Amino acid sequence: MQENQSYLTLPSSFYKVVPLNPVKHPSFLVVNDQLAEELGIDPDKLKTERALQIFAGNEMPESAAQIAQSYAGHQFGQFTMLGDGRALLIGEQETKKGLKDFQLKGSGRTPYSRGGDGRAAVGPMLREYMISEALHALHIPTTRSLAVVKTGEPVYRERVLDGAILTRVASSHLRVGTFQFARHFCDEEDLKALADYTINRHDPTLANQANRYAAFFSHVVDRQAKLIASWQQIGFIHGVMNTDNMTISGEAIDFGPCAFMDTFNPATVFSSIDTVGRYAYENQPKIGGWNLARLAETLLPLVHEDEDQALEIMQAKLDEYPTAFQQYWLDGMRKKLGLQVAMEEDASLIDQLLTMMYQQQADYTNTFRGLSTEQELEIFETKDFKAWQQNWHSRLQKENTTLEAAKASMQKVNPAIIARNYYVEEALRFAEQGDLSYVETFVDALRSPFTVKKEHQHFQTPPKEDGPFITYCGT
Ligand code: AMP
Ligand code: MG
């Protein structure tokens, strides 16, 4: 591996070069062959002793310089200085999928560790691997996991756990929180350097435009509207949409207490510390807007020297968010019902189905999937559903689509298999006892969510004791 580290071209306040924190007995848990191939990296080269030492943070690739990135963020609404407290950016590489950052997560203490140990445990790192593979297979932009290694050292949480390090691949690790850091703790020149670096990296077509900062913000708004709409459509709950967990690239990042919803309930929350439901499923679109407003604030000095004018420009850009979100959401939901043409009545048709699903406590994924398969579900037997189904069929006829054609297209967007927490947890239980075969089988299933192999059918069944599954922190 040969790494570049363009982050070093930024003012030095944006990072700290950190010494390595070697671990004693690293061993492989997972190497993501599929991702390696997508990136154009030979998977066999990732399985060598040298690669293991790199994934463990014991050695660095050629010309790498390991750094902890500075960032701040609103955590559950409270503004705090953060930074990579347990991660190291080891550099970036040009790949078949474009420029990618490589970051070790769980690699030990940094100047930003505060009270933490800088480490991560096997369970949460394998969870991140499974969730990111699931999202990717569902065509949702996400950071990926190239490898997970066991450190051979314990980490101390509520109980003693095995330590692990995940190698995360991302289009970048620039966050809304990186801009908040620049605005609150740096001068305007540094803020501008960060914004220009980011534009070069993610929106190079804007690089020479006079009004590039406002235009850049519009691009971020659009990417986030699209991302969050795709979460809503698939029933994904991120769980901790703090501003430091929102990327500029539009990729989903940081999968701690996240989940795919089983029973449809818009108020579903997954994080044990989210007691007021700030990051509940139904609040995600609104929180996306709130986070984008925090990003807009950081860019004001670059947008116009007159603050009022800057505010006016950015407010207009921010106002694009709800419209963009609604558009992406409606388009996606139409496709879930096999509709290709937009019609006035669609929002209400979708709403009626969702209301029914909520009232009947139907499984979100299986209901949508079941509309296009022969699956028998309780909800399909109800009078309300049968009335709705007639409306849906008439609506399909209005665009001259046969039910058969609609169903074929629906099976390409409504997954049969999602990363239900019940199975994620079961896979982790086996992994913690040293058996990774469950994780491998599950990931294999998650990688083809729209076609179900016989041996994966059971992953479609929602857990029996269905109550809100709570993921505790300490990730
Ligand atoms: P996260 O919950 O992973 O988004 O992390 C939020 C912040 O807490 C980031 O600044 C992390 O670097 C930091 N953090 C999380 N876990 C640890 C840990 N075990 N040691 C040090 N810092 C941590
Ligand atoms: Mg985070």
- What is the sign of the dihedral through the CA atoms of 180, 185, 188 and 189? negative
**Residues labelled as active-site residues:** 244
Nearest ligand for residue 475 CA: 1
**Mean pLDDT, rounded, for 176-184:** 98
Local confidence band at 470 (pLDDT 50, 70, 90 cut-offs): low
pLDDT at 473: 44
pLDDT at 64: 81
Residue 217 host element (H or E): helix 212-234
Map residue 28 onto helix, strand or coil. Answer: strand
Local confidence band at 2 (pLDDT 50, 70, 90 cut-offs): low
Residue of 86, 112, 242 best suited for mutating to test ligand 1, as the one with most atoms within 8 Å of CB = 86
**Mean pLDDT, rounded, for 312-333:** 98
Local confidence band at 3 (pLDDT 50, 70, 90 cut-offs): confident
Residue bearing the CA closest to ligand 1, atom 6: 82
The verdict on the CB of residue 128 being under 6 Å from ligand 1 is: no
CA angle (143 as vertex; 138, 149 as ends), nearest 5: 110
Local confidence band at 452 (pLDDT 50, 70, 90 cut-offs): very high
Condensed to tens digits (0 to 9), the pLDDT of residues 344-358 reads: 999 999 999 999 999
- The overall longest dimension of the chain from CA atoms, in Å, is 66
Closest CA to 451 of 408, 405, 416, 410: 416
The verdict on the CB of residue 73 being under 6 Å from ligand 1 is: no
Q: Which two tokens stand for residue 117?
A: 């140990």
Residue 297 host element (H or E): helix 284-303
The verdict on the CB of residue 251 being under 6 Å from ligand 1 is: no
Reply yes or no on whether the pLDDT at 70 is more than 80: yes
pLDDT at 40: 98
Residues in the chain, total: 475
pLDDT at 475: 55
Closest CA to 107 of 162, 56, 51: 56
Residue of 113, 132, 245 best suited for mutating to test ligand 1, as the one with most atoms within 8 Å of CB = 113
Q: How far is the CA of 424 from the centre of ligand 2 (A)?
A: 20
- What is the sign of the dihedral through the CA atoms of 218, 222, 227 and 233? positive
Reply yes or no on whether the pLDDT at 474 is more than 50: no
CB 395 within 8 Å of CB 343: yes
pLDDT at 113: 98
Residue bearing the CA closest to ligand 1, atom 1: 254
The verdict on the CB of residue 117 being under 6 Å from ligand 1 is: yes
Map residue 158 onto helix, strand or coil. Answer: coil
Query: Tokens 């010309």 label which residue?
Result: 63
What's the whole-number average pLDDT of the chain? 95
Reply yes or no on whether the pLDDT at 63 is more than 90: no
**Mean pLDDT, rounded, for 125-132:** 98
Q: How far is the CA of 254 from the centre of ligand 2 (A)?
A: 5
The verdict on the CB of residue 83 being under 6 Å from ligand 1 is: yes
The domain limits of the chain are 6-170, 337-410
pLDDT at 469: 52
CB 333 within 8 Å of CB 375: no
Q: Which two tokens stand for residue 461?
A: 């069944």
Q: What's the distance, CA 250 to chain centroid? A: 9
Condensed to tens digits (0 to 9), the pLDDT of residues 197-237 reads: 999 999 999 998 989 999 999 999 999 999 999 999 999 99
The verdict on the CB of residue 33 being under 6 Å from ligand 1 is: no
Residue 148 host element (H or E): strand 144-156
Reply yes or no on whether the pLDDT at 466 is more than 60: no
Condensed to tens digits (0 to 9), the pLDDT of residues 131-170 reads: 999 999 999 999 999 999 999 999 999 999 999 999 999 9
Q: How far is the CA of 189 from the centre of ligand 2 (A)?
A: 26
